[in-house]
Chain A
Amino acid sequence: MKYLLFKCLVSLGVTLLLYSNTNAQVNNQTQTTTNQTVQKATVSGTIKDGSNGETLIGVIVTIKEGKQKVTTNEYGFYSLTLPKGTYTLVINYIGFNKTEKVVDLTNGNQTLNIDLESVNTVTKEVVISAVKEDENIKSTEMSTNKLDINTIKKMPALLGEVDVVRSITMLPGVSTVGEGASGFNVRGGAIDQNLVLLDEAPVYNSSHLFGFFSIFNPDAVKDVKLYKGGMPAQYGGRLSSVLDVRMKEGNSKRFSTQGGIGLIFSRLTLEAPINKGKGSFIIAGRRSYGDLFLKLSSNEDLKNSSLYFYDLSTKFNYKFGSKDQVFLSGYLGRDRFGVPAFGFNWGNNTATARWNHVFGSKLFSNLTAFYSNYDYELGTLGSSENVFNWKSRLINYSGKYEFNYFLNPNNTITFGAQALYYEFRPAKIVTKTKGQANPDVEEPYKFALENAIFVGNEQKVGSRLSLTYGLRLSNFNNIGAGKIYTLQDQAVPTDGKKVVDSVVLKKGEFYNPKYILEPRFAAKYELNEISSIKASYNRNAQYIHLLSNTAASVPLDIWTPSNTNLKPQIANQVAIGYFRNFKQNTYETSVEAFYKTMDNQLDYIYYADILGNQKRETQILTGSGRAYGAEFYLKKSKGRLTGWISYTLARTERKINGLSKNEWYPSRFDKAHTVNVVAMYKIKERLTFSINNTYSSGTPITLGNQIYEVYTQKTLFNPSETRNNFRIPAYYRCDIALTYERPKKKPEQRWESEWVFSVYNLSNRKNPFTVFIQADVNNPDLYKGYKYSVFGSIIPGITYNFKY
C-alpha cells in the first residue's frame, strides 16, 4: 500500500515537473524566438537589507518583462534562469523601497547581489508583514504565519518584555493551556508536537521562568515562521507544527548595539562586521534580576538564594568568495531557582555550524551540523551532610544536507537528507546521608537514531495554479545498549501494564526500525488578483515523546523515544482555505478549515508514576486523537492603524484505550472558541499605542462531584470515571502598551531610544488557570470550589530600549 502510494506520488511529481518544464519553455520561447533552441542564462545572488547587511528571507524577485518570479530562500539566495537577454528585476518588499535592477544575460550567467533600502523613516508606515503585500494570495503556503519581529516588538507584553512565543499565541489556531504553562498548542496538538528550531537546532524546552517568557531574545531574532499545516518536506519529526526561528547574522555594515532595561530583566546585543563586511557577528545576552534583589536583603539565607535566568545567543558568519559562506551560531541559557535548602535549574544549549555553497548558479546547498542539549538538575543545596541530587539530560547530534535547485522560474526543488542521533539520560541520583555517600543510582541511557530523506518542489502550473508537493521518508531505530520491555496488552486506568518479557540490546545494536512515508501537498488556485483558494495535506511522524502528566508542563518532564511499546505518533491533516485581500492589499482576510487525525496518542493511567520509573511505559495508555475546526483571520497591514482579528472555532479530543469508558473526551487544551484582537495605532510619528484582547473558552479538567475523607484528608470522587469532565471558566484579557520613540537631536544621530509603557491584564480579570477544592475557613467540614489565577491583578511594566 505504502509502495503504491509512493509510486503514485513519484509519478505525479515527475509528470507535473515535465509539464511545468515544457510550459516554462513554451512561455519563454514566446517572448524570444520560436522554432529555435532557446539558450538560457541564470541570474543569482543574495538580497540583503542595505542598512545592516542582513539577508532577507522570502523576498519575491519578479521579472518586469515577464511573469517569472522566484522567492529567496532562508539564506536570502535567489536564482532565476531565463532565455538570454536583458531583464529588469523588480523587488517590492514591505518595509523597503521598491527596487529595480537591470541585468544583462546576453553573455551568460550573472551574479547580482542586491541591497534593499529601507523606507524613509519619516514616511514609514507601520507595517506588520515581512513579506510581499499580496503574498498571502499568491503563495501556496497556508496554515502558516510569519510574524515580523518589529510587529512582535510593538505588541503589548507581560511586564513590557517582548516575547516571541507569547506573541504567536495571538495567532489563529495557536493556544496555551493557560498562564504559566510552558510551550504552546497548535491545532489540538500537545506541546511536544511542536518542532521548535533555533537556527535549525531543536529546542526541547523553549521556556524561561516556567513559561512566562520564552528563550528567544527578540533582539537577536531575524525571522519567525510558524507552520501549522502544509509543512514542506524538509521539516519533520513532530506532528503539529514547526516554529522556525532564525537568528540575525549580525550587522555587516558597521558596529551597532541595542538593548533594553526592563523590570524583570535587561538585554544587550552587539553586532559588527568582520574583515570589511566579509563576515559579521552578533552576540546577545539577557539576564533577570531576581537574585540581585534578594542580595539586598539583610537575611543571610535570602542573600544566598538564587532566582534568575540568563541566556546568550551568538552567531558568526563569514564569506569565502562568492559561492561559500559559513555560519556558526550558538545558544546557552539557564534558569536557576534555589533557597539554601533546595535548588533547581534547567537549560538548553545549542550549537549550529552551517556551510552554504552555490554549485554553478542554480544549485544552492546548505550543510548543517548541530548539537542540542537540554538538562535539568534538582536537589539539596548547602549541606554536604545530607545530599539528594537528581540530574536528567537529553542530547542531540545531527547532520543535515539540503539543496535548493532553482530548475527554472516555475520549479524550485528542495531535496536532502538528515540524520539525528539521540542520547537520553533520564535520571542520575546522587545521595549522601550524614556525610556518607550512598551508591549512585543511574537509570540506563537510551539511544536512538532518526533519519530522513526528503524531496519537494514548488511549482507554478500556468498563471493561476501553484503547487508545493514533496515526500519525506523517515526512519527511526532504537540503539543499544539498553533494555526494552514487552508489556501485557491491557489497558486498565488504575494499574500499570505488566511487564511480561524484556529484550536486552547490545551496545550499538539497532532494534525496532520504523519507516514512515510522509507525503506533503499544498495547492493554490488564484481566482483573480485579489483572491485565491488553497488546499493542503500533510502526514507527519513523531518518534520522541514528552511524558507529562500535569496540567502545566514543567521542566521535570521527560523526553523518551519510541520503542516497541510507544509507537511513533502519526498525524494526517487536511486543510482548505479561502484568501482574499481588499483595498490594494490593505486588508487581508482568510478562512481555513482543518481536520486532523492523530494515531498513537499518549495519556496516562491514574496518577502515573513517570519520574524515576525505569518502566515508565507501563504507566502510559495510547489511543487516537482528532482535532478539527475553522480559523477566521482579518489583518490590516498598512496605515496608521494595523493589526488583526482572529477567531478560531475548534475541537480537540482523545480516545484512549482504557480511559473515559473508551469514549472520546476533550483533551486538556481543548478550547471551542478563541478570539484575538491585536491593534497598533500610530498616534504620532513617534508615538504608538497598541492593544491586545484575547478571549477563549475554558479548558477542561477532571473533577469528582462526590467527597469523602480518609486519613484526615478530604478527597474528591468521580463516580463516572470520565476524564476532563468539567470546564473551568472562560478566559479574557486585555493588555495595552504605549511606545514613545525619543526624537533625535540631530538627523545623523545614531543613538535611538524608546520607552515602552505597558499594562498587562488591564481588564483586571482573575482568569482561572484551574479550579480546586479547599475547606472553608469558617467551616472545615465544608469544602468549596476555588479558582486559581496566575495573574490576579493589573500588571504594569516599563521598558527602556536603545539602539546605536
Chain B
Amino acid sequence: MKKIIYNLLLLTFFASCETEIDLKIPGDESPALVVEGYVTEGNPIASVKLTTTIPFNTSGVNPAATNVESVKIKRTDSLGNVSTTILTQSTADPAYYFTNKEFVPSYKDKYELEVKFKGETFVASSEIFQKVKVDSFSYEYQTEKFGQVKGYYVDFSARPQNASVQYFLFEKVKNGKLYYESLNDLINIWDNRLTKQLTFPAPILFGINPQPNQAKAGFDKNKDYPYALGDTLVINTYSIDENVFRYYSDLLQQASSQQGGLGPLFAPPMDNVRGNIKNLNPNGIKVTGIFSARGLNATTIIIK
C-alpha cells in the first residue's frame, strides 16, 4: 500500500535523485547459513537450497554451503503417521538437495526440516493448507490508459475453501518462465484475515497483470503487455502458512526500500527478514531463510 502512495508522490515535481555511495557497513562478517526449502502439494520433488551469505559489496552468487552433514524432511500426515525422507545433494548444483519420487506431499500434512551443518542442527516446520478453488478466469484486450499499457489482461476469481486458510502467494509463469515486472508482482501475497473475503479483491488482480516499466531498456511499445496473443499463463496460487507469509511480507518490505525512489521513506527499519529456520544452538552459526510446505492450485490460461 505504501508503495502506491509514494508512487503517487513521484508524480509531483520534486527533484529527487539517487546517487551511488561507498557503503561501509560495520558488523560481524561471519557467513550465515541460508535455507530455501519447498514442499509443494502433489509435487514429489521437494527441494532445499543451502547457501551462505557473502559480505555486502561482493560480486557473485551466494556459494553453496559446504560441510553439510545431512538434510532430512519429517512428514506427519493427518492420521499421525510419521515418515522421514533424506534428501540427496544435486549433482548439477551442489547448493540443492532433493527428495526422491516416493515423496508425495498432500493437504493437512505437517513437515519438519532438519539440516546438520558444521556440527550444528537447524530445524524448521511448515504445514500444507488446503488449496484455493478457482471459480473462473477470463481475459480481454485493453487499450492503453494512464499507468496501464495495451495488451491482454486476465481476470481471475478464486476463493479459499476453508476459513482457516488465510495466507496466499500468487505466482505467474508466462510461457514457462516466472513472470514479474516489479517486486510487488513477484511477491504477490494476500492476507485474508482482515477482510475474510470469499473472493480475492482488486489488489490481487493488479499483481496478476504486471505492468512493465516503459522507461526500461527492452520495453517495446508495439508489443502487448502483460499478455499477448499466444501466451500461456499459469497462475500458481499457493496456500501458505503464517510464518511463510510473514517471511514473504518481510522480504517485500525490505526489498521495497531497495527499489530506490521514495520507497526508503516509507519502509520499516531493515531488520533481518524473519525466516522460520532456527539453530538449536542459539549462540551458534546464524541462519536465515524459509522452509515452506504449501497447497497449490495451478490454473492454466492460454490467450487465443
Q: Check: B266 CB closer than 8 A to any chain A CB.
A: yes
Q: Check: A701 CB closer than 8 A to any chain B CB.
A: yes
The interface bits of chain A over 768-796 (1 if a CB of B lies within 8 angstroms of the residue's CB, else 0) are 11111110000101111111111111010
**Of the residues A180, A386, A493, A712, contact of B265 by C-beta under 8 Å:** A180
Contacts of B199 in A (CB 8 A): 433-434, 438
Q: How far is the CB of B241 from chain A (nearest CB, A)?
A: 15
Q: Check: A724 CB closer than 8 A to any chain B CB.
A: yes
Q: Classify the secondary structure of A's interface with B.
A: loop
**Of the residues A338, A344, A378, A710, contact of B290 by C-beta under 8 Å:** A710
Contacts of A181 in B (CB 8 A): 265
When C-beta atoms are compared, the residue in chain A nearest to B56 turns out to be A707
Separation of A551 and B18 alpha carbons in the complex (Å) = 17
**Of the residues B17, B147, B289, contact of A710 by C-beta under 8 Å:** B289
The interface bits of chain A over 44-56 (1 if a CB of B lies within 8 angstroms of the residue's CB, else 0) are 0000000000000
The interface bits of chain B over 13-48 (1 if a CB of A lies within 8 angstroms of the residue's CB, else 0) are 011111111110111111110101000000000000
Q: Check: A63 CB closer than 8 A to any chain B CB.
A: no
When C-beta atoms are compared, the residue in chain B nearest to A299 turns out to be B146
Contacts of B27 in A (CB 8 A): 704-705, 718-720, 722, 725
Report yes or no: B183 in contact with A713, Cβ–Cβ below 8 A.
yes
Q: How far is the CB of B221 from chain A (nearest CB, A)?
A: 15
Report yes or no: B5 in contact with A556, Cβ–Cβ below 8 A.
yes
Contacts of B5 in A (CB 8 A): 337, 344, 378, 554, 556
Report yes or no: A713 in contact with B255, Cβ–Cβ below 8 A.
yes
**Of the residues A339, A388, A493, A707, contact of B201 by C-beta under 8 Å:** A388
Separation of A307 and B178 alpha carbons in the complex (Å) = 36
Separation of A84 and B183 alpha carbons in the complex (Å) = 81
Report yes or no: A180 in contact with B262, Cβ–Cβ below 8 A.
yes
Q: How far is the CB of B63 from chain A (nearest CB, A)?
A: 10
Report yes or no: A718 in contact with B55, Cβ–Cβ below 8 A.
no
Q: Check: A550 CB closer than 8 A to any chain B CB.
A: yes
**In residues 689-703 of chain A, which contact B (Cβ within 8 Å)?**
701-703
**In residues 41-84 of chain B, which contact A (Cβ within 8 Å)?**
51-62
Q: How far is the CB of A172 from chain B (nearest CB, A)?
A: 26
Report yes or no: A429 in contact with B265, Cβ–Cβ below 8 A.
no
The interface bits of chain B over 251-280 (1 if a CB of A lies within 8 angstroms of the residue's CB, else 0) are 101110111111111111111111000000
Q: How far is the CB of A774 from chain B (nearest CB, A)?
A: 5
The interface bits of chain B over 190-231 (1 if a CB of A lies within 8 angstroms of the residue's CB, else 0) are 000011111111110100000000000000000000000000
**Of the residues B14, B19, B251, contact of A786 by C-beta under 8 Å:** B19
**Of the residues A551, A703, A729, A772, contact of B266 by C-beta under 8 Å:** A551
Q: Check: B286 CB closer than 8 A to any chain A CB.
A: yes
Report yes or no: A790 in contact with B19, Cβ–Cβ below 8 A.
no
The interface stretch among A482-490, A564-572, A607-615, A634-642 is A607-615
Contacts of A702 in B (CB 8 A): 269-271
When C-beta atoms are compared, the residue in chain B nearest to A339 turns out to be B147
Report yes or no: A772 in contact with B260, Cβ–Cβ below 8 A.
yes
Q: Check: B250 CB closer than 8 A to any chain A CB.
A: yes
**Of the residues B248, B264, B270, contact of A769 by C-beta under 8 Å:** B264
Separation of A772 and B267 alpha carbons in the complex (Å) = 11
**In residues 383-408 of chain A, which contact B (Cβ within 8 Å)?**
383, 386-388
Q: Check: B249 CB closer than 8 A to any chain A CB.
A: yes
Separation of A452 and B12 alpha carbons in the complex (Å) = 43
Q: Check: B186 CB closer than 8 A to any chain A CB.
A: yes
Q: Check: B288 CB closer than 8 A to any chain A CB.
A: yes
When C-beta atoms are compared, the residue in chain B nearest to A158 turns out to be B14
Q: How many residues of B contact A (CB 8 A)?
A: 90
Q: How far is the CB of A177 from chain B (nearest CB, A)?
A: 9
**Of the residues B145, B183, B265, contact of A552 by C-beta under 8 Å:** B265
Q: A290-B12, A550-B265, A713-B251 are in contact. Are A786 and B186 (CB under 8 A)?
A: no
Q: Check: A341 CB closer than 8 A to any chain B CB.
A: yes
**Of the residues A341, A441, A706, contact of B53 by C-beta under 8 Å:** A706
Q: Check: A380 CB closer than 8 A to any chain B CB.
A: yes
Q: Check: B92 CB closer than 8 A to any chain A CB.
A: no
Contacts of B286 in A (CB 8 A): 717, 719
Separation of A269 and B16 alpha carbons in the complex (Å) = 33
**In residues 546-566 of chain A, which contact B (Cβ within 8 Å)?**
549-552, 554, 556
Report yes or no: B8 in contact with A703, Cβ–Cβ below 8 A.
no
Contacts of A774 in B (CB 8 A): 258-260
Report yes or no: A786 in contact with B1, Cβ–Cβ below 8 A.
no
Q: Check: B157 CB closer than 8 A to any chain A CB.
A: yes
**Of the residues B18, B26, B59, contact of A705 by C-beta under 8 Å:** B26
Q: A705-B27, A707-B54, A781-B60 are in contact. Are A431 and B197 (CB under 8 A)?
A: yes
Q: Check: A606 CB closer than 8 A to any chain B CB.
A: yes
Separation of A264 and B268 alpha carbons in the complex (Å) = 30
Separation of A205 and B201 alpha carbons in the complex (Å) = 30
Contacts of A612 in B (CB 8 A): 194
Instruction: Give the 3 A-B CB pairs with smallest separation, nearest first.
Output: A785-B23, A792-B17, A301-B146
Q: List 14 A-B contacts (CB under 8 A).
A: A180-B265, A300-B146, A301-B147, A337-B5, A337-B9, A378-B4, A552-B265, A556-B1, A708-B52, A713-B251, A715-B255, A717-B273, A770-B265, A793-B17
Could you list 4 further interchain pairs (A-B, Cβ under 8 angstroms) beyond the known A383-B202, A612-B194, A781-B59? A429-B194, A441-B194, A708-B53, A769-B264
Chain A interfacial positions (CB closer than 8 Å to B):
180-181, 209-210, 212, 290, 299-302, 305, 307, 337-342, 344, 378, 380, 383, 386-388, 429, 431, 433-434, 438-439, 441, 493-494, 549-552, 554, 556, 604, 606-609, 611-612, 668, 701-726, 729, 766, 768-774, 779, 781-793, 795
Chain B interfacial positions (CB closer than 8 Å to A):
1-2, 4-5, 8-9, 11-12, 14-23, 25-32, 34, 36, 51-62, 145-148, 157, 178, 183, 186-187, 194-203, 205, 246, 248-251, 253-255, 257-274, 286, 288-290
